Structure 1
């Protein structure tokens, strides 16, 4: 079992745990919404997406963002997942990431959506 993210306690007052599939999803979410430099022992970890919510959109910018996220997922989670498709959209103060990936140990294909809203 793995510690669940975000950290919380279960109904018995113990640290909440989760299964492998949910843990992989949690790790993807942590990578996407962590800014580089936030982790002391891993200063390169993170995509920096939250800082980009209010940046102007363009096809070139979107392509660069897509490549950066895909490369980061490969670097940090490539032993666990294979990215099949990735779509990042930013609308007003909301950032939405749709990710299709295969879990390497099982081969199962999963589709997950991650979303964050800026301060309002």
Structure 2
């Protein structure tokens, strides 16, 4: 039943299969690729559907702090509730992985609608570190 509900769709990134046809994915893989596609698309990026996507890209230059993490969690929740009706979100948690390198991990806890099967997905989000926190290369003779 859940497999019929999820359906099938084009693989992302777009590619061909062994027969030369457009590669398709189905089941769990379809949901994972759909969530990745939603989060990786900035609103305004698609000409025929400019509102599609997730506004986390507006935060690429924001400071890596708790306020930004909360805003990222909010934007992910809003985007997935709007664009992925096949899942029920349980929680969105943003963890600081490598703050100095600008990497945050977005953990999405969800279940497929109509099932009690909990799932999770971790989506890496890269921010541009500020100049004050970025390490400068060592000059000759410095360590």
Q: TM (normalized to structure 1)?
A: 0.82
Q: Structure 1: which 4+ aligned runs deviate by more than 6 Å?
A: none
Within 1, Cα distance between the matches of 2:50 and 2:61?
Answer: 23
Secondary structure class of the residue paired with 1:102: strand
Alignment of 1:31-110 (within 5 A): 31-77=38-84, 79-89=85-95, 91=99, 92-110=101-119
Inter-partner Cα distance in structure 2 for 1:25 and 1:43: 22
**How has the CA–CA distance of structure 1 residues 69 and 117 changed in structure 2, closer, same or farther, with 3 Å as cutoff?**
closer
- How far apart are the structure 1 equivalents of 2:75 and 2:127? 21
Gaps of 5+ in 2: 1-7, 129-143
Q: What is the CA distance between 1:117 and its match in structure 2?
A: 4.9
Work out the CA distance in 2 between the residues paired with 1:6 and 1:84: 27
In terms of Rg, which structure is larger? Answer: 2
Give me the CA root mean square deviation.
Answer: 2.2
* C-alpha spacing 1:69/1:116, structure 2 compared with 1 (3 Å): closer
- Give the direction of change, closer, same or farther, for the CA distance of 1:6–1:85 in structure 2 (3 Å limit): same
Q: Report the Cα distance in structure 2 between the residues aligned to 1:48 and 1:34, rounded to whole angstroms.
A: 8
Using the size of structure 2 for normalisation, the TM-score is 0.70
1:30 and 2:42 aligned: no
